Each structure stands twice: as C-alpha cells, then as structure tokens.
Amino acid sequence: MSAIGDVARLAGVSKSTASRALSGRGYVSDATRERVVQAAADLGFVVSSAAASLVTGQTRNVGVVIPFINRWFFAEVLDGLESALISSGYYLTLYRLSEDAEQRRRIFDYFLVRKRVDAVIAVGIELTAHEVGQLRSLGKPIVGLGGPTDGIPTINIDDVETTRLATELLINLGHRNIMHLGGDLQEQMDFRVHDQRLTGFRRAMDDAGLSGRDDFLAVPFSIQGGYAGALQVLADPRRCPTAIVAGCDEVAVGVIIAARQLGINIPSQLSVVGIDGHTLAPMFELTTFEQFPARQGSRSVEIILEQLESNDSETPHASKPREMIPVNLVVRSSTSAPPRDS
C-alpha cells in the first residue's frame, strides 16, 4: 500500500514535487514528471481519495436521490446520470428514497450531509424548503429532475402542457368520450407529476367543453396498473370511452394489452395516447410524447458540473431556475378518429 512518499523517494524528488507531477498542478519539468509517473507505475501507486478530499474539500462524488429504480423513467434517468458523471470523472452515490419519512430524514440529516458528496441531484422528488436549506448552507449545488422544487435549478418536461396536448390531439380527432388513466394523487411521494398531468387533461377537456364527467381513474404507474384499470373501465358500459389519455407509456401499454384481450380494436374502437417514449412504444404502435429521460439525466449533470466548476467564485445558484425539456410527438397507429356510430 504505497504512499506518495514512497513514489517520491523512488523518483528521487520531494513529496510536493511528486504530488505536482501526478496531479498536474503547478510547475514540474518534463523530465522529473516522467520519472515520477514511472515510479508511481512501478509501485502500483494510487492516490487516496480520502486524503485528497480532506485537503481539497472536494470528493468528486455526486449524490443521486431517487424514489424508484425499477421503473422505466427512473432507470433511464439513472443510466443517463451515471454515464455523464463517469465520463466527467465523477462518482455516483445512490440513495433510493422510500416513502418512509423517517428514513428520508435520516438520508438527509445523516448521509448526504456528511461531507461525502459535492452535489446532489434529486430525481422525481420535491425537496422541502428545509432540505434545500440544509444542502445549500453546506454550499452543495442541487439540481432537481422531474420534481418541481422551488428555488433550485430544475430539469423537466412541461407535464401540464404535454398532457393537455395529448388530450387535445384526441379531441381534434373527434373524440368526445375521453378518459384519463393517471397516477394516484395520494401515492405520488412528493412527485407532483400525477397532479400536473391530471391538470393538463382537465384543462384540455374544459377548453373543449367536455368536462364534469367521471373521466379519471387512478392507477399505479405500471403496465399492470394500466391493464387492471383498463379492464375495469373498458368493460363497464357506463364508462367505455372511445379514447384514453394514459398517464405514462407503461399505463398505455397495459391499456392496449387489456383492449386486445377484450377484443377491442385499436385504434378503430379505442384510441390510446401515452407520455414517455418508452422502449415498448414502437412495438405497441403507441402514439406518444417522447421525453428522453437519459438526456434529461445528462443535462442535469451538465448543470451540476457547471456549478461545481464555477463554485470558486461562490456565486449563488444564479442559473435559470427551471429548464423545460421539449417533448417530441410520435404519431403511431394507436390513435385515429372515433368510431362513427358512437
């Protein structure tokens, strides 16, 4: 377990010179640098990041707080975050936040705060003012992804507007009997997306004078959730919409599977539109609004690194507070005009 002193001795220089040679900071002649690098290689020397961060105050470690990892959106985001961080030479420490408030408090009070991370990326979580204050008072940059936390830079799509557009798309096709299968408002774990998508749906329906009916069903954001919800809705003669706005593509896929099982043809008898750009969307011919979560992840990393690099001047997070990522509509054959006899 060789230390930098050993390297220095072998190369015949001082510790400080060895440090400069290896870290690349400060003046070192080419000849000595070469000798030091060679010595380090011979000894299999690797710097102790603990020692380095003790004096520099930087860990090159970014904490990622995320509520799920086995849902498509979050897994894609995580993927994007990891790639972007690694290729910038940063490490990613993962914290999965459960619903448990006590555990959440522990993570913030106990884990994140220990000078283990240089910055925090919060995915799909609305941070409380206290949590933001805590992090900020330690000078740690924060970026939110998906969550609508105030006062910190945030990356997300415009959930209200996207859902409004999805609904309007169906209305413009001639649909009047449209339902929204969205997320449960209670179970969103400070992740306001469910709220906002419902709001967008309502807005479009109101604008078209179609509101006021029993047109919303809360389902889990998963294929099974969409499947079970769709069975319930499509088999019920009182409801039986001609079109469904799914809260996300997983729900939409579940709806399509349910419809097939019930012998309901898509799109001639039922139109379905989703939001996400899920991997399965092409296979199910799903019309959807793509949101590229991995790209949102790498964009978040860019913003975090920007703040990290410029943090010398200790500028308070002056960047634009919220960055809306444009969504991309892909029309496939899950949407068409409603059946004429309806």
Partner DNA sequence: ACAAAATCTGGAACCGGTTCCACAACGTGT
Partner DNA sequence: ACACGTTGTGGAACCGGTTCCAGATTTTGT
Using CB distances below 5 to 8 A depending on partner kind, what does residue 320 bind out of DNA, its own copies, none?
none
Stretch that binds DNA, among 15-23, 83-91, 239-247, 276-284 (CB under 7 A): 15-23
Minimum CB distance to its own copies smaller for 91 or for 216:
91
Give the strands of the sheet with 271-276, arranged side by side: 216-218, 178-182, 243-246, 271-276, 287-290, 328-330
Q: Apex CA 135: angle with CA 106 and CA 185, to 5°?
A: 65
**Beta carbon of residue 32, minimum distance to DNA (angstroms, whole number):** 4
Residue 51 or residue 235: which is nearer to its own copies going by CB? 51
- Nearest Cα to Cα of residue 278 among 222, 227, 234: 222
13's contact among its own copies, DNA, none, with CB below 5 to 8 A by partner kind, is: DNA
Report the residue from 9, 37, 43, 52 that binds DNA according to the rule CB under 7 A. 52
* Positions in 159-198 near DNA (CB under 7 A): none
Shortest approach of its own copies to residue 14 CB, angstroms? 21
Q: Taking CB within 5 to 8 Å according to partner kind, which of DNA, its own copies, none is near residue 315? A: none
**105 near its own copies (CB under 8 A):** no
Determine, following the binding rule CB under 7 A, whether residue 19 of this chain makes contact with DNA: yes
Partner touching 70 among DNA, its own copies, none, CB below 5 to 8 Å by kind: its own copies
**Residues making contact with its own copies (CB under 8 A):** 1, 46-51, 53-54, 59, 61, 69-70, 72, 75-76, 78-79, 82-83, 86, 91-96, 103, 107, 111, 113-116, 138, 222-224, 227, 257, 260-261, 279-280, 282-283
